[in-house]
Chain A
Amino acid sequence: MNDTGRMPEVALDEAAAHAAVRDIEVDRKALDASIAEFAGPNADYYARAFHRIHETTGPIPRTFNLAAFLAGPFWAAARGAWGMFWTFLIVEIIAFVQIGRGTWGQLGADALAQAERQAARAQQFLDRAAEAAAAGQDASRFETLGNNLMRAAERSRETAEAAAADANMILLTGLGFLLALRLVQALWANSVYEKQYSRWRVDPAGVASGRRPFNMALGIALGIVIIPLTVYRFTVEGVAEWITTFPADPDIYSNSARWLEGVIDDAARGGAGAFDGIVLAVRQILDAISLALIGTPWLVVMTVIIVVGWRVAGPRVAIFTAAALAYIAFLGYWEIAMETVALVGAAVVLCVVIGIPLGIWFGKSPRAYRIAEPVLDLMQTLPAFVYLIPIIAFFGTGNPPGILATIIFGMPPVIRLTALGVRGVPDSIKEAATAFGATRWELLKDVELPLAQPSIMTGVNQTILMCLSMVVIISLIGGGGLGQVILEALQFAAKGPGLLGGFAILFVAMVIDRIVQGAFRRADQK
């Protein structure tokens, strides 16, 4: 009963709250001052327009911006609404081209020219008919030809006239389109400007405000460069060549190429010792892995691969591995496939051995990482074809240069993800280890590397996959293995051998990927 007694009180409070919300006054003065500060010239007009927009409940606020109607994109430029400027500048060019074609464009000019050519030839035939008649020969054949051509010329002239008559229609369309565009801008301008105002309130320094002479001048300058040239190009026949083709000087190209060739030759000669040393070292690693995979009896290697697949990735991967190896062996790809595996293996070993220490260094030193990051970006974005050339110049052709190219492509992920993992180790845990007396080495060994391990393993996995995809491309610079099979098949457009080799590569990649993934998944669960 007591509760019912309290009910009206609560209801009263709610009513009071609602009344309070309804009674809140819009503080026009403060808003107007802010809008005036934003808009600069014509502040009163924009204050009224923005209020209108703020009070509109429908989808489109009905305001009309005369300046936007008259100046179009240049109003947007002056007010710093660059998105609107570009959109309407480009669309208005279409309207201007139509107007230009309608006003001075030689519509039907080609038909007219054809008519004149046909008339001239008709005249020739008629002249020859007259000559023949004068010589007493039969002139009827020439006359018929001449008359036919005359009629054709007449038809062409009619087409040309019809096209010229269309000019008015095109002009009207262009004008109508322009008018429509300007109306859209006039209606839309204040909404756009009001949004800009809202953004300006949040970020007064970063969002354009007022009417800036510089912006207006920039907009007009852009218009002067873009509109007349484009309209000229599309409305006038036979424009000057420099407008359609860039006037490039072929000497610049040949001189640069010659200069670059000299530089590379000099560098290759100068560092020959170092480059040969690198090739030799890479060859040692490759030979060791090749010997293990190819020198050992195939039965041993197969058994080891299948058992490893079974132990680290489960029975299903083992069955798939056995099937894939059988395919490779029965088609006679065994040795060549093992060469591919050796190439990938050598590249991955080098990537990991060089990449993880670099990654740790970059993870600990932000400055080193800032310097290295553009290099890593370049390594990943450069198309492989681009750096195959310098690699040939410096390291020659064959498998070791191929491995070097693979490393360039495959190393960035392991570096990046190692750095990411090391950087991601919480400061609090590092601080705790330090507080208990850990040395820098103990910190790395006990805290940073174990905590970064998942990230590092992801990096190694990505590196393996990237090396696998690269190992086909290096056949272009004399790399062996299955890539060479594909390259030969491509050169002779041999469909059968190409597909068989392609599947062999696919199976090698899938077996490696499955086994590595399985191993990493098991390590993650630990």
Chain B
Amino acid sequence: MTETVVELSHVWKVFGAQAAETISAAQNGPLSKAEALEKYKTVIGVRDASFSVARGEIFCIMGLSGSGKSTLVRHVNRLIEPSAGTIRVLGEDVSAMGQTALREMRARHIGMVFQHMALMPHRSVRDNVAYPLAIRKIPKSRRWAISEHTLGLVDLTGYEDRLPKELSGGMQQRVGIARALASDPEILLMDEPFSALDPLIRLQLQDQFKALVRDLGKSTLFITHDLDEAIRIGHRIAIMKDGVIVQIGTPEEIVTEPADDYVAEFVQGISRLKLVKAHTIMQPLNGHAPPEEAKRVSGESDLDALIDISVGSDQPLVVQDDGQDVGVITKTTLLRGIQGGK
């Protein structure tokens, strides 16, 4: 989990003729979006964004519409050129690539899934999935075999010869995922893939997707406007607002230590039961010996599990790390922990 697959450092995207002037002005002092628009007639899409994605990681970028998250992710395969900053994919500088190398990278190493599926309506499901392979000039026999295999991964066996419009929205998006997987790329870019689907199908696809990515070992950049989805799916989450990455952290960090009021407002409605771990809420022992008969729990147990254990005993719970007692959780601590550590 340590190898970096995608790395963005100090990436800016400014739309308009005076992009360079806007960036230098913004670097030398505060410059709001409205000021940039008034002074330079430019729109700041992404402002000084840096993050990296490790191999096998699902990295979520969460933000409301207009926060620049879709713009940001399109820098990775250079569908959008950055105004400043460097982007490295598998160690290579994307901005320095020539047209051929860029196309090669897009076709071989990056699979992308779009919010509105973007399937070709005139081609069968099979040919849609095989399109990235066709671009790579892979012979038809291989294309067909690979697309059948990939459609199997997303449970669409038997739908190969249908047209996309004959499929439901959820199935179409699974075709989109299969297409992104067809080239067996290291990296998946998911641009709000489940936003247009109804909630039940969305939950189902989220779980299916998470399992699939884990099994195949893909590194994923996942864009969403739904914090619940980001927490369900992501190993780490970046929260964006007005083109700025406000906070990057694990779901637990985001929920327990929001960086500012904006993030805090977002995490308010999030259930903490599955996120907050025992070592976050426990009180240190401070030299006191815990009662022998008290139940022992792991520091990684979440609140949900702690409640189950706590219900069956009158004693506080003792938290262990590597077999050592490190802290204690009383009923009061547990209730306060559920409430949010007030």
Q: Is B136 an interface residue (CB 8 A)?
A: yes
Q: Is A435 an interface residue (CB 8 A)?
A: yes
Q: Is A434 an interface residue (CB 8 A)?
A: yes
9-residue interface stretch from B110-118, B139-147, B304-312: B110-118
A-B contact pairs, 6 of them (CB 8 A): A428-B114, A428-B116, A429-B120, A431-B118, A436-B107, A438-B135
- In Å, the complex CA distance between A153 and B314 comes to 136
Given contacts A435-B106, A437-B106, A437-B136, contact A429 B131 (CB under 8 A): no
9-residue interface stretch from A13-21, A117-125, A446-454: A446-454
- Taking CB atoms and an 8 Å cut-off, the chain A residues in 396-445 that contact chain B are 426, 428-429, 431-439, 442
The interface residues of chain A lying within 8 Å CB-to-CB of B121 are 451
- In Å, the complex CA distance between A23 and B122 comes to 61
Instruction: Assess the A437–B104 pair: CB atoms within 8 A.
Output: yes
Given contacts A428-B114, A446-B131, contact A435 B77 (CB under 8 A): yes
Instruction: Assess the B120–A435 pair: CB atoms within 8 A.
Output: no
- In Å, the complex CA distance between A429 and B123 comes to 12
Given contacts A437-B107, A439-B103, A450-B122, contact A431 B114 (CB under 8 A): yes
Instruction: Assess the A446–B120 pair: CB atoms within 8 A.
Output: yes
How many residues from A make CB contacts under 8 Å with B? 18
Instruction: Assess the B135–A431 pair: CB atoms within 8 A.
Output: no
- In Å, the complex CA distance between A439 and B112 comes to 17
Known: A433-B131, A435-B77, A436-B132. 4 other contacts (CB 8 A): A431-B114, A434-B79, A437-B108, A437-B132
- In Å, the complex CA distance between A447 and B110 comes to 20
Instruction: Assess the A436–B120 pair: CB atoms within 8 A.
Output: no
Given contacts A434-B79, A435-B77, contact A426 B118 (CB under 8 A): yes
Q: Nearest chain B CB to A456's CB is how many angstroms away?
A: 13
Q: How many residue pairs at the A-B interface have CB separations less than 8 Å?
A: 58
7 nearest CB pairs, A to B: A437-B107, A432-B118, A437-B106, A436-B132, A428-B118, A437-B103, A435-B112
- Taking CB atoms and an 8 Å cut-off, the chain A residues in 216-261 that contact chain B are none
- In Å, the complex CA distance between A438 and B179 comes to 14
The interface residues of chain A lying within 8 Å CB-to-CB of B136 are 437
The interface residues of chain B lying within 8 Å CB-to-CB of A437 are 103-108, 132, 135-136
B180-202: contact bitstring with A at CB < 8 Å (1 yes, 0 no)?
00010000010000000000000
Q: Which residue of A lies closest to B122 (CB)?
A: A450
The interface residues of chain A lying within 8 Å CB-to-CB of B79 are 431, 434-435
- In Å, the complex CA distance between A436 and B127 comes to 14
- In Å, the complex CA distance between A462 and B189 comes to 44
Q: Which residue of A lies closest to B176 (CB)?
A: A432
Interface residues of A (CB under 8 A from B): 426, 428-429, 431-439, 442, 446-447, 450-451, 453
Q: Which residue of A lies closest to B136 (CB)?
A: A437
- In Å, the complex CA distance between A434 and B173 comes to 18
The interface residues of chain B lying within 8 Å CB-to-CB of A429 are 118-120
The interface residues of chain B lying within 8 Å CB-to-CB of A447 are 120
Q: Which residue of B lies closest to A447 (CB)?
A: B120
Which of B112, B114, B122, B132 contacts A451 (CB under 8 A)? B122
Given contacts A446-B131, A450-B122, A451-B122, contact A432 B104 (CB under 8 A): no
The interface residues of chain B lying within 8 Å CB-to-CB of A428 are 114-116, 118
The interface residues of chain B lying within 8 Å CB-to-CB of A431 are 79, 114, 118
The interface residues of chain B lying within 8 Å CB-to-CB of A438 are 103, 135
The interface residues of chain A lying within 8 Å CB-to-CB of B179 are 436
The interface residues of chain A lying within 8 Å CB-to-CB of B134 are 446
The interface residues of chain A lying within 8 Å CB-to-CB of B114 are 428, 431-432
The interface residues of chain B lying within 8 Å CB-to-CB of A439 are 103
The interface residues of chain A lying within 8 Å CB-to-CB of B112 are 432, 435-436
The interface residues of chain B lying within 8 Å CB-to-CB of A435 are 77, 79, 106, 110, 112, 189
Which of B108, B135, B189 contacts A442 (CB under 8 A)? B135
- In Å, the complex CA distance between A433 and B105 comes to 14
- In Å, the complex CA distance between A35 and B40 comes to 39
Q: Which residue of B lies closest to A426 (CB)?
A: B118
Q: Nearest chain A CB to B15's CB is how many angstroms away?
A: 16
B237-280: contact bitstring with A at CB < 8 Å (1 yes, 0 no)?
00000000000000000000000000000000000000000000
Q: Nearest chain A CB to B114's CB is how many angstroms away?
A: 6
- In Å, the complex CA distance between A42 and B108 comes to 75
- In Å, the complex CA distance between A453 and B116 comes to 22
- In Å, the complex CA distance between A451 and B135 comes to 18
Q: Nearest chain B CB to A244's CB is how many angstroms away?
A: 57
Q: Which residue of B lies closest to A439 (CB)?
A: B103
- In Å, the complex CA distance between A429 and B121 comes to 9
The interface residues of chain B lying within 8 Å CB-to-CB of A433 are 120, 131
